[in-house]
């Protein structure tokens, strides 16, 4: 593993991981690596640019991350500047009712792509640029990138489906609050994925619970609207006899 944290879980084996225990240490490294990738990809599903910017900044200015050679471009000054501008646009657009819906449509492509890049960097894929397609697929370098894209797409889909419910139930006032909360969670998940990967399990479970609650509210709201529509379309009583039956 070439993406390391300050805690050194991938840089060196603990004292007990010697002799016959080395296999356990290797397995632990793979688990932490996967949790880091999952956390960054999930974060990208909420905000495409936060995890990429986090990886680039930490890789450029701190020793918390050592990026593989093929991913050094994430810490390039121009890339960081572009990501910062895109992040600013995203943070504004996502907090305006109706505009946030248009933004979610555009982000349907951007967020999964960012998730694939983040997961790929976390799992030490050598490069995103495929110079030799046969080698790329035979070496399975595409697996973490595809996995990150799928995770981010699922999270993006839940976010995009939940936002209309929030806007409708709060008459639009909930959009900036929900967006700010999503940004905070995205930042926290990115940090946790890099520094404390095991916390990602609780983050993911919390997000799943939250979206389940929102989805249930959406179904309840649809059922209420359907019942109200049926009541309005129900024919009115025509005479006294019919009126007694209605009562």
Q: What is the pLDDT of residues 96-155, one digit of tens each?
A: 988 998 999 999 999 999 999 888 877 654 334 444 545 555 556 677 888 889 999 999
Query: How many CB atoms sit inside 10 A of residue 247's CB?
Result: 6
Distance CA 231, CA 238 (A): 16
Distance (Å, whole) CA 42 – CA 38: 6
Query: Cα–Cα distance between 116 and 40 in angstroms, integer?
Result: 9
**Cα dihedral value 63, 67, 71, 75, nearest 10:** 0
State residue 90's pLDDT score: 92
**Least confident segment among 46-60, 159-173, 194-208, 219-233:** 219-233
pTM: 0.73
Residues sharing a CB contact under 8 Å with residue 96, sequence separation 6 or more, in sequence order = 175, 176
């Amino acid at each position: 593993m070439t993406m390391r944290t300050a805690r050194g879980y991938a840089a060196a084996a603990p004292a007990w991981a010697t002799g016959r225990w080395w296999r356990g240490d290797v397995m632990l490294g793979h688990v932490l690596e996967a949790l880091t990738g999952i956390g960054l990809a999930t974060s990208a599903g909420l905000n495409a640019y936060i995890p990429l910017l986090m990886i680039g900044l930490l890789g450029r200015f701190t020793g918390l991350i050592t990026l593989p050679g093929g991913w050094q471009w994430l810490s390039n000054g121009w890339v960081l500047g572009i990501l910062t501008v895109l992040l600013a646009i995203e943070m504004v657009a996502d907090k305006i009712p109706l505009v946030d819906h248009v933004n979610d449509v555009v982000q349907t492509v951007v967020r999964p792509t960012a998730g694939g890049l983040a997961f790929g960097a976390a799992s030490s894929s050598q490069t995103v640029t495929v110079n030799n397609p046969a080698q790329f697929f035979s070496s399975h370098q595409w697996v973490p990138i595809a996995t990150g894209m799928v995770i981010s797409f699922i999270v993006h889909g839940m976010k995009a489906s939940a936002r209309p419910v929030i806007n409708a139930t709060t008459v639009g006032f909930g959009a900036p609050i929900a967006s700010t909360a999503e940004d905070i969670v995205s930042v926290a998940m990115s940090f946790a994925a890099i520094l404390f990967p095991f916390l990602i399990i609780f983050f993911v479970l919390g997000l799943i619970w939250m979206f389940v609650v929102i989805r249930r509210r959406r179904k309840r709201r649809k059922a209420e609207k359907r019942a109200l529509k049926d009541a309005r379309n129900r024919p009115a009583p025509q005479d006294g006899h019919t009126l007694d039956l209605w009562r």
